[in-house]
A and B are shown apart, each in its own frame.
Chain A
Amino acid sequence: SQQGEEDPQALSIQEGENATMNCSYKTSINNLQWYRQNSGRGLVHLILIRSNEREKHSGRLRVTLDTSKKSSSLLITASRAADTASYFCATVGNTPLVFGKGTRLSVIA
């Protein structure tokens, strides 16, 4: 299995602080994707980073990928209460997306 494993499982921060979540995986990948899930809703795609990319930005999101360490990180800068959600990494190799178990982020106003 190439399931991503997020760390930490839960994270609580104050509004305005940065939030960093990490993802480790086991086998070679084509790309890695990050998703957000608000309570009671489906997942929403945030960003995709290909195996030949090292860093990618989208608004307040910054994703890094280190294929030598088989790890990725998601940084959310200047967090807001609306960022409260669960965040999942998902890896793509020879099979469709394989999701990790997620990081639960709570942003306190």
Chain B
Amino acid sequence: DAGITQSPRHKVTETGTPVTLRCHQTENHRYMYWYRQDPGHGLRLIHYSYGVKDTDKGEVSDGYSVSRSKTEDFLLTLESATSSQTSVYFCAISDGTSNSNQPQHFGDGTRLSIL
């Protein structure tokens, strides 16, 4: 299995609080991604990174920010969590010179509940 660690694995928090999820990789892959998975929607891309300090928005980026200060770490922050952000969040990584022609490797997810 690809060396991807997501933390925490589970979190329950209240509306309005800030939340940060961490993705750590040991593969030295260039690309890192954050997705959310919800019933009826499949996986949707939130943000992705193509290098240190290089990030771009995905399909559902509103309400989320990301940072990548080191190759191995990609952080996802909910500045002020809302109940609509209750979801399972997955981090993924991929290698290569393009984000399009390599498979992605996924972590096991963070289950986030916002009450």
Which residues of A line the B interface, CB within 8 A? Answer: 1, 3, 30-31, 33, 40-45, 48, 50, 88, 92-93, 96-102
Contacts and interface: CB of A to CB of B under 8 A. Distances in A.
A74 to B, nearest CB: 15
Interface size class of B (residues with CB under 8 A): 20 to 34
B48 interface: yes
Contact of B101 (A31, A42, A44): A31
Interface of B: 4, 31, 33, 35, 40-45, 48, 58-59, 90, 92, 99-101, 103-109
A96 B100 contact: yes
Given A30-B100, A31-B101, A41-B108, A97 B90 contact: no
Contact of B104 (A3, A45, A100, A101): A45
Given A92-B100, A96-B48, A42 B106 contact: yes
Closest 3 CB pairs of A and B: A42-B106, A45-B103, A101-B42
A96 B42 contact: no
A100 B99 CA distance: 18
A99 B44 CA distance: 7
Given A30-B101, A96-B33, A96-B100, A44 B45 contact: no
Contact of A43 (B40, B58, B106): B106
A92 to B, nearest CB: 5
B105 A92 contact: no
A93 B41 CA distance: 20
Nearest to B107: A42
10 contacts: A30-B100, A40-B108, A42-B106, A42-B108, A42-B109, A43-B90, A45-B105, A92-B101, A96-B33, A101-B41
